[in-house]
Amino acid sequence: MTSMTSKTVAIFGATGAQGGPVVKEALSKGHTVRAVARDAAKIGAAHPDAIAVAADLSDEDAVAEALNGVDAAFLHFPMPSGPDDSQNWAAAFFAAAHRVNLPLLVYVTGGPSGDRFPSSAIVDGTTQGMKAVLASGIPSIVLQSAVYLENLQPEIFLPDLRSKGKLDYPPILQSLKMQWTSHLDQATLAVAAMGRPDLAGQSFEIGTPHALTGADLAELMQNYWVGRDVVFDPMTPEAFGTRVGDALGSPGTAFALGDLRGGRGISDRSLRWIA
């Protein structure tokens, strides 16, 4: 993807893990950025060079105001707290986008999506979201991410990494290889995509050029990050889901993560293409 000339862009979720790097990347390219989130003060603290726009995704009027007059927008829906959140956010956003004739939307799935992945709660949700975006009538480009390198940072994912040199995530077979991506690389692609209206209507899977086994990842981590010997000893998907769900106090999260990483989620069938 080629870079675009200086434009005005709206980036939703500007204070989040997905949107924050997109704001920084867009600013570094000289674009005028409307950084959109619910808390204007938090936006200003995180991105003093951006235009802080306070808007809730469920507020159609506020979203329309944030989008009015921009050349492109970036969107990633946050984690819903209720069963109707995602549907309400999508309805408000696309109604607002149609009101102001949004020229281009770049949407990130935030997780594995598409028919190549076996059905699971998370895959079904991200796939539904992707299809809704492409069918919205708004010129859209979808970036399909799968697994983020940032998942290796939270203590609840890897409590024994630094103390014991034990890498037990991701919960996949020893022989399987996976592609990864990062929020920073995703941001580079997202900003480039905002300058490519000719790609509207398409989706693109994104990831590292090379797929890694868990042992490959452990070797890289011990050499370049952790500073000690690291051994890959994966958990079962169910144990991983329980670990994270218990830490967050969310049985639903435990089920969803176990379901995704288990036999119905990221499996040999879905990963064989990158092995």
CATH classification of the domain holding 87: 3.40.50.720
Residue 272's pLDDT is 36
Could you tell me if 194 and 251 lie in one domain? Answer: no
Look at residue 200 and tell me if it is in a domain: yes
Split into its structural domains, the chain has a count of 2
- Section 74-102 average pLDDT: 91
Handedness of CA 195, 199, 201, 203 (dihedral sign): negative
Assign 175 a pLDDT band (cuts: 50, 70, 90).
confident
Residue 72's pLDDT is 98
Could you tell me if 256 and 189 lie in one domain? Answer: no
Could you tell me if 57 and 102 lie in one domain? Answer: yes
Residue 80's pLDDT is 76
Could you tell me if 137 and 236 lie in one domain? Answer: no
- Section 82-90 average pLDDT: 87
Could you tell me if 169 and 257 lie in one domain? Answer: yes
Q: How close are the terminal C-alpha atoms of the chain, in Å?
A: 25
Residue 219's pLDDT is 95
232-261 per-position pLDDT tens digit: 998 887 888 788 777 777 665 545 555 554
Please check the confidence at residue 114 and state whether its pLDDT lies above 50.
yes
The top-scoring range by mean pLDDT among 82-91, 141-150, 195-204 is 195-204
- How many angstroms separate the CA atoms of 265 and 18, rounded? 22
Dihedral of the alpha carbons of 144, 117, 89, 132, in degrees to the nearest 10: 80
Look at residue 3 and tell me if it is in a domain: no
Assign 262 a pLDDT band (cuts: 50, 70, 90).
low
Could you tell me if 23 and 123 lie in one domain? Answer: yes
Whole-prediction pTM value?
0.86
Amino acid at site 266: I
Could you tell me if 260 and 192 lie in one domain? Answer: no
Look at residue 1 and tell me if it is in a domain: no
Residue 263's pLDDT is 43
Look at residue 2 and tell me if it is in a domain: no
- Please state the φ and ψ torsions of residue 144, each to the nearest 5 degrees: -100, 100
Structure tokens at 197: 């209206």
Could you tell me if 261 and 136 lie in one domain? Answer: no
- Domain extent at residue 252: 151-176+210-274
